[in-house]
Chain A
Amino acid sequence: MEKRELTCIGCPLGCNITVSMENGEILDVTGNTCKRGDDYARKEVTNPTRIVTSTVQVSGGVSPTVSCKTRQDIPKDKIFDVAGALKGVCVQAPVAIGDVVCADVAGTGVDMVATKDIAAAG
């Protein structure tokens, strides 16, 4: 039997979770305080994902950059692809929270969306 030790990132509590596995099958999850921890642990050992946050350039705005995030979490091994895909991306102000700044980022099927309103300059 294999045991994987994880720190839950579902909330700031950071529970230490132990996942017992055998042949890729999850036998048991212990150490979590809530259901989120159980979900996180099961996902983290099979299909780890992350939200990626970054910035892209803005033209004609009151700020030279706008912050953005993947609308949903993306596979953990795609983090660098997502970050790289934003190189050279520039959006026109005004930008509103939720506007897509990069659709289907790095082929993940997930859109990168703005997380801040940026008014047009002037």
Chain B
Amino acid sequence: MKNVDLVIVGGGPAGLAAAISAKENGIDSILIIERDKELGGILNQCIHNGFGLHTFKEELTGPEYAARFIAEAKKLNIEYILNTMVMEIGSDKKITAMNRTEGLFEIQAKAVILAMGCRERSRGALNIPGYRPAGIYSAGTAQRLVNMEGFMPGKEVVILGSGDIGLIMARRMTLEGAKVKVVAELMPYSGGLKRNIVQCLNDFGIPLKLSHTVVDIEGKERVEAVTIAEVGSDRRPVPGTEERYTCDTLLLSCGLIPENELSRGAGVELSRVTSGPVVNESLETNIEGIFACGNVLHVHDLVDYVSEEAKNAGKNAAAYIQKGAGTDQRVITINPTGGVRYSVPCTIRPERMDETLTVRFRVGDVYKNCSIVTYFDEEKISERKRPVMAPGEMEQVILKKADLLERPGLKTVTITVEGA
């Protein structure tokens, strides 16, 4: 069995940034295990621009953004293996992986970083009634077909869900000659970034119907028509509002789900809200020495934040390998409430945190002219006015180590939306 200090599961943006950071923090023995034939993960099929404004202060396309990290990892001589599937992660940090050349093999790691990313919610998970013909794709599958294989999955398209990949694919398929007839969104607000609504829908006159969902799919072999209807406040279709669109394709962009089957197998505790691991300030899961970052932890809006988070995971994993786990530390719980759906991390050991800690979260509704308010137990610590917050975009609060250390009795940090 091979011994490696740090195994990183996944060679997408999270895995790459984590590896680079671990290396820069003194870990030499690193192995990235990637299931695809190249590094870069899903960025390779995200050929649109808009990546990297925070990280590189310029707008890059997905492949370009990935290429910069891949180049850096190669420059640092970080070891990686491609076309290799991790089959199992043990709570003892023993990894079982498989590929064509080596078969099944085991690696004993001192620390593991989970960076497997996420998958798309499928038609089945949405329980959309109707037939089950060909022509129903998740937006990401269509994206791969068009951008990587060079094939068009259809000519006349209806899109359910206004997630970013769906919006991006509305533009992409339009530019390749398809007619995108409508984007229906169940919620009264878009799940994607505003800029994508402007650039991908408005630019091309594609209507976005909020509070609408698909109520029927016709076509026994290939999609022939899709019926959408308005939904009430209970998100159930309102009879009489049905509109039928003839089309050959239905794209689904209805949310992403962190892929944590391996984590579950390792005994990692998962959050019911994010479907990602429950982590502390070091992005460490309940299993000592197993860390998580990127979309496997919680679905991000921007890859820049993935890279930033992964950098921390890499640094923290390095510290764990070098210094081991601490003992007897005070643990403060973060309590997301009042419109704040979740927080990453979930707990803080103040002695272990950096001078500042970025707590990321999403809100559960659209809030205008509200404030994000942070309490240390009952004491209000900060209040930040936000002209608008939406579930499609991540929010953050920055905590200072000094503030936490000043309050030895502090049990709970509450983050909430006020003024709604």
Chain A interface residues toward B at CB < 8 A: 6-14, 16, 50-55, 57, 63-65, 67-69, 76, 79-80, 83, 97, 115-117
Partner of A67, one of B63, B195, B302: B63
**Which chain A residue lies CB-closest to B304?**
A12
CA distance A10 to B50 in the complex (A): 9
Enumerate chain A residues within 8 angstroms of B341, measured Cβ to Cβ: none
Residues of A within 8 A of B146 (CB): 55
| Complex CA distance for A12 and B44, rounded to whole angstroms | 21
Evaluate contact between B47 and A115: CB separation under 8 angstroms.
Answer: yes
* Alpha-carbon separation in the docked complex, A79 to B96 (Å): 48
B301 and A115 contact, CB distance less than 8 A: no
Q: Is B382 interfacial (CB 8 A cutoff)? A: no
Query: A51: nearest residue on chain B (CB-CB)?
Result: B49
Q: How many Å from the CB of B93 to the closest CB on chain A?
A: 34
Looking at the complex, which of B7-15, B196-204, B209-217, B224-232 is the stretch in contact with chain A? Answer: B196-204
Interface of B is mostly: helix
Whether A64 touches B194, Cβ cut-off 8 Å, given contacts A54-B47, A115-B61, is: no
B102 at the interface (CB under 8 A from A): no
Does B242 belong to the interface (CB within 8 Å)?
no
- Please, which residues of chain A bring their CB within 8 A of the CB of B47? 53-55, 67-69, 115-116
Q: Which residues of A contact B199 (CB under 8 A)?
A: 9, 50
User: In the complex, what residues of A have CB within 8 A of residue B147's CB?
Assistant: 55, 65, 67
B393–A12 CB distance below 8 A = yes
Residues B148 and A69 in contact, CB atoms below 8 Å apart:
no
In the bound complex, what is the Cα–Cα distance between A55 and B195 (angstroms)? 22
Measured between beta carbons, the chain B residues less than 8 angstroms from A79 are 175, 203
28 contacts between A and B (CB under 8 A): A6-B198, A7-B197, A9-B194, A9-B198, A12-B194, A12-B302, A14-B193, A14-B195, A16-B388, A50-B199, A51-B59, A53-B47, A54-B176, A57-B150, A63-B148, A65-B147, A65-B148, A65-B149, A67-B62, A68-B47, A69-B61, A80-B175, A83-B175, A97-B67, A115-B63, A116-B63, A116-B67, A117-B67
Q: How far is the CB of B316 from chain A (nearest CB, A)?
A: 26
Q: Is the CB of A50 within 8 A of B203?
A: yes
Taken residue by residue from 67 to 103, chain B's Cβ proximity to chain A (1 for < 8 Å, 0 otherwise) reads as 1000000000000000000000000000000000000
- Give the distance in Å from the alpha carbon of A6 to the alpha carbon of B198 in the complex: 9
Q: B142-162 CB contact bits vs A (8 Å, 1 = yes)?
A: 000011111000000000000
In the complex, which residues of chain B have a beta carbon less than 8 angstroms from the beta carbon of A65? 147-150
Rounded to whole angstroms, the CA-CA distance of A55 and B147 in the bound complex is 7
B47: nearest residue on chain A (CB-CB)? A67
CA distance A122 to B194 in the complex (A): 43
In this complex, how many residues of chain B approach chain A with their Cβ under 8 Å: the count is: 31
A-binding residues in B (CB < 8 A): 44, 47-50, 53, 59-64, 67, 146-150, 175-176, 193-195, 197-199, 203, 301-302, 388, 393
Are A53 and B203 in contact, CB atoms less than 8 angstroms apart? no
A64 contact from B63, B150, B301, Cβ within 8 A: B150
Structural contact, A54 and B175, CB atoms closer than 8 A? yes
Chain A, Cβ-Cβ closest to B63: A116
B195 surroundings in chain A (CB, below 8 A): 7-12, 14
Q: In the complex, how many angstroms separate the beta carbon of A35 from the nearest chain B beta carbon?
A: 14
Residues of chain B lying within 8 A (CB to CB) of residue A55 = 47, 146-147, 150
Task: Give CA–CA (A65, B302) in the complex, Å.
Answer: 25
A93 to chain B, nearest CB (A): 14
Chain A residues with CB under 8 Å of B50's CB are 12
A74 CB to nearest B CB, Å? 13
Q: How far is the CA of A49 from the CA of B302 in the complex (A)?
A: 23
Shortest CB-to-CB span from B213 to chain A, Å, is 24
